[in-house]
Amino acid sequence: LKPVKVHFRLPVQILQECLQAGVDRESQLLQAIASLCAAGTRQSEDIINTSKRLGYASAIVDQAQQGKQKRVAVKRQFEGTEDEANERAELGSSEAGSSAASTSEDEKKYEDIMKFVDSFKSTRKRMNWSACFDMV
């Protein structure tokens, strides 16, 4: 009978292997989050540029900028420390308040246009949208 050598791994080695596998998985997740944030940021920039070029309402641009800022903050949160991310998130929330003012300007503009349309419609027997649009 031949003696059989049994190879036992030390518990420390097993733990190291498990930890390394966990770290590798976390790194892959962080890379995936970073690339999703980068893609979303590029998409927001495209929306901002197209909206500005076509002269769309500032509310669209504001929403795209807010989305871009949030994605950048998330990306930085996963790349940097939590303290830095918290500071950036606070800055982002204070900037979001300023965009609310421009959104209300768009709403005011919309309300003014709708008042004009109602006034235009009430002074005529029949609505002429092209004439109304030309006057706006």
The 10s digit of each residue's pLDDT in 113-126 is 888 888 888 888 88
In the chain, % of residues over pLDDT 70? 75
pLDDT confidence of 61, banded at 50, 70, 90? confident
Q: How many domains does the chain have?
A: 1
Instruction: Examine residue 70 and state whether it is found in any structural domain, yes or no.
Output: yes
Intra-chain end-to-end CA distance of the chain, in Å: 102
Instruction: Examine residue 113 and state whether it is found in any structural domain, yes or no.
Output: no
Contact 94, 73 (CB under 8 A): no
Instruction: Examine residue 83 and state whether it is found in any structural domain, yes or no.
Output: yes
The range of the structural domain enclosing residue 40 comes to 11-99
Angle between helices 11-54 and 58-79 in degrees, nearest 10: 160
pLDDT confidence of 80, banded at 50, 70, 90? low
Instruction: Examine residue 50 and state whether it is found in any structural domain, yes or no.
Output: yes
Mean pLDDT of 70-85: 70
Q: What is the C-alpha separation between 42 and 111, in angstroms, rounded?
A: 33
Sign of the Cα pseudo-torsion (39, 41, 46, 47, in order): positive
| Residue 21 scores a pLDDT above 80 | yes
Instruction: Examine residue 76 and state whether it is found in any structural domain, yes or no.
Output: yes
